[in-house]
Structure 1
Amino acid sequence: MTDVPSHSEPDAADLDGYYDKFYVHDASEIRHHLRRLAGARGVLSVRAESSQDGMATMLLQVDDDTFLIDVPSTRRMLDAWLGSLLLRVEGSIDRAALRFSSGPARLDDHEGKPALRVPIPERMLYLQRREFMRREPPPGALVCHLRLEDGREIQASIRDIGGGGLAIVATRSAVEFQVNEVLTGCRIELPDLGDVEVNLQIRHVVVRSHLGLDAAQAGCEFVDLAPVAQRKLFRYLMQLDRDQLARRRWLE
């Protein structure tokens, strides 16, 4: 099997070197993370370089210089992946986010079924949960629609948000937050990126009297976050970083 030339370049969303310290460049370490993901039957979100349309696929096998992923479920997406010099790939394992670009992909097979073979990337963004720092969006800019067990849907303000969770504020007359409760099917409206659906596990609750006598804040963790939702949240967080960096440079 001939080697495939590897192409890798930073995503345009990667904020002027802000995340450089979280990149892995050592090929053996990159293979290690990919093999961990393959061993856990991890799911990847993949999109062609020039497209915003991604699709989930399975990481099947990791070799020395390449790895295999399952083919997408539609011919249109398969043609897009094969026709792109670079694929944008994202996944997660043990609450760490993996993100990289590589290509081109070519058709191959795995255990008698079609698969795509992709070069091992030259670098990989590896963000552990502790590196998902919380950001504060502008006041009133971000809301979360909570779906409650009784069927009601209420709107809560988002005080801060990160890759691993968020803090929401709502009135106690509307909802009584319970520690360890899981709220499924909640929806976050991300400016310019659209809605994402998340499951939230409440980790702690604080009464915020300075926000109003009826206000309570819940610190929540994302549960079973889908790769597509993770990608949108990651982009939103980087947009907040860009805005903050631009304000700081303007003040200087």
Structure 2
Amino acid sequence: MNNQELENWHDYEVASRREIMALLRQIGEKHQLIRMLVKGEADVCVTTVLEVDPDTNTVVLDRSIDRSQNDRIVEAGKVRCETSLDKIRILFTAENLRPTLFEGNAALRADIPLTLIRLQRREYYRMETPVSNPVRAIIPLPIESGAGTAVFPLHDISCGGIAILDNKLQLGTTIGETIPNCRIELPEIGPVVVSLQLRNSLDMTLLNNKSNRRIGLQFVDISRGGMAGVQRYITKLERERNARLAGLA
């Protein structure tokens, strides 16, 4: 999970402080495990919520059993956290992490997040598509870009929609605009033709200083066959990812 992934889900953002504290309390009361991504998937700690303190606007989290990992967490200052509550996926960032004591034991204290993401539907979980063999989306261009169509690589896919990379900045960025007759070529599954509604766009600067734009698009009136194809492809990606992780374990 990364900044781009969180950006995809801005429609599921919770910004009410009272609601955020209530969710964190429930996570603690139900002893839900939280995956804390210190440096992405390469450095993960499993923690729990020990206390939510509205007076100091902080949340206390259990520390890692690995002392050096605790040092890395504090050094990072902020980390991504993901958990679930009643089958709802919860994502948030823990910031300003520092060592603290809770009931006499070492723990970690962080600021209560200003926002968190609550994904009510499991099928909206996004899978990143392979970089080595990019999935192609063939999308009609606006008239100001010369009309016709252009091919865009997918960044990720879910049963709710896709994110594409528009490195030539050919598409518009009007939120809510719907583009009909888009064709997504799913490897080993086949093409899915669907209308796509623009939900968000994010301009990024790559490591080589080139600019790129990631655009989040939601499926509109997708056919039952098209949705079945998307689900099969996501299952295929998940299976391949799990096989890779099992091979690395």
Give the TM-score taking structure 1 as reference length: 0.51
Number of residue pairs matched by the alignment: 148
What does residue 58 of structure 1 align with?
Answer: 48
Amino acid at match of 1:80: R
For structure 1, the 5+ residue unaligned runs are 1-9, 141-157, 169-186, 198-252
Higher relative contact order (CA 8 A, sep 6+): 1
For residue 245 of structure 2, the aligned residue among 195, 207, 211 is 195
What does residue 25 of structure 1 align with?
Answer: 15
Calculate the aligned-residue CA RMSD, in Å: 3.3
TM superposition outliers: structure 1 runs of 4+ over 6 Å: none
Structure 1 residues 32 and 79, CA, compared in 2 at 3 Å: closer, same or farther? same
Contact 1:87/1:104 (8 A) holds in 2: no
- Give the deviation of 1:194 after TM superposition: 3.5
- Give the deviation of 1:138 after TM superposition: 3.2
Give the TM-score taking structure 2 as reference length: 0.51
For residue 59 of structure 2, the aligned residue among 56, 67, 75 is 67
Identity rate of aligned residues, in percent?
A: 25
Contact 1:49/1:86 (8 A) holds in 2: no
3-state SS of the aligned residue for 2:245?
A: strand
Amino acid at match of 1:194: R
- Give the deviation of 1:50 after TM superposition: 6.8
1:210-221 pair list within 5 angstroms: none
The whole-number CA distance in structure 2 between the counterparts of 1:69 and 1:22 is 24
What does residue 180 of structure 1 align with?
Answer: none
The whole-number CA distance in structure 1 between the counterparts of 2:20 and 2:188 is 39
Amino acid at match of 1:138: P
The whole-number CA distance in structure 1 between the counterparts of 2:84 and 2:14 is 15
3-state SS of the aligned residue for 1:105?
A: strand
3-state SS of the aligned residue for 2:20?
A: helix
3-state SS of the aligned residue for 1:76?
A: helix
What does residue 87 of structure 1 align with?
Answer: 79
Contact 1:84/1:103 (8 A) holds in 2: no
For residue 35 of structure 1, the aligned residue among 7, 25, 38 is 25
- Give the deviation of 1:160 after TM superposition: 4.4
Structure 1 residues 138 and 13, CA, compared in 2 at 3 Å: closer, same or farther? farther
- Give the deviation of 1:131 after TM superposition: 5.9
| 1:145-183 Cα distance to aligned partner (Å, 9 max, x none) | xxxxxxxxxxxxx8244xxxx599xxxxxxxxxxxxxxx
What does residue 96 of structure 1 align with?
Answer: 88
For structure 2, the 5+ residue unaligned runs are 126-157, 160-183, 190-230
1:136-215 pair list within 5 angstroms: 138-139=187-188, 159-161=232-234, 166=235, 188-190=239-241, 194-195=244-245
The whole-number CA distance in structure 1 between the counterparts of 2:49 and 2:124 is 24
For residue 100 of structure 2, the aligned residue among 108, 112, 127 is 108
- Give the deviation of 1:46 after TM superposition: 0.7
Contact 2:38/2:45 (8 A) holds in 1: no
Structure 1 residues 195 and 24, CA, compared in 2 at 3 Å: closer, same or farther? same
The whole-number CA distance in structure 1 between the counterparts of 2:46 and 2:244 is 18
Contact 1:88/1:101 (8 A) holds in 2: yes
3-state SS of the aligned residue for 1:52?
A: coil
